Amino acid sequence: GAVVSQHPSRVICKSGTSVKIECRSLDFQATTMFWYRQFPKQSLMLMATSNEGSKATYEQGVEKDKFLINHASLTLSTLTVTSAHPEDSSFYICSASSGTGITAFFGQGTRLTVV
């Protein structure tokens, strides 16, 4: 299957700083990318959907000014957690779709810890 790479896999940052997570589709063009958040021992919740070259669409309750999503190319989307707070500590997973089918491929996730 297609490969989606997320980087970094694990990051620790200080409160108040920003951290960027990258999601890359390695062998296909991802017209749409999705960002999910997973709290410990809970399910994955969709945060936002991004289409290449367009502004991301955020789910209700997700602060768009805090979670900045950029999808500037067909192979890269980034999630920037701004002014990070300990409550932002979570597991973030992206998925990417070429749009030609209905199967999206998931990255391996990023464990964010804000101290």
Partner 1 sequence: AQSVTQPDIHITVSEGASLELRCNYSYGATPYLFWYVQSPGQGLQLLLKYFSGDTLVQGIKGFEAEFKRSQSSFNLRKPSVHWSDAAEYFCAVSISTGNQFYFGTGTSLTVIP
Binder of partner 1 out of 43, 61, 86, 115 (CB under 8 A): 43
Binder of partner 1 out of 23, 24, 28, 34 (CB under 8 A): 34
Question: Token pair for residue 71?
Answer: 């999808």
Q: Is residue 12 a contact point for partner 1 (CB under 8 A)?
A: no
Write the CA distances from 45 to 2, 3, 34, 58, integer angstroms: 22, 21, 10, 12
Binder of partner 1 out of 3, 12, 26, 46 (CB under 8 A): 46
* Least distance CB 2 / partner 1 (angstroms): 11
Q: Taking phi first (over 0 means left), then psi (-120 to 50 degrees means alpha), and beta for anything else, what does residue 109 get? A: left
Which residue, 43 or 87, has its beta carbon nearer to partner 1? 43
* Site pattern 47..86 for partner 1 (x: CB under 8 A): --x-------------------------------------
Q: Which amino acid is at 114?
A: V
Q: Is residue 1 a contact point for partner 1 (CB under 8 A)?
A: yes
Write the CA distances from 71 to 7, 89, 100, 102, integer angstroms: 15, 23, 18, 19
Q: What single-letter DSSP state applies at residue 61? A: T
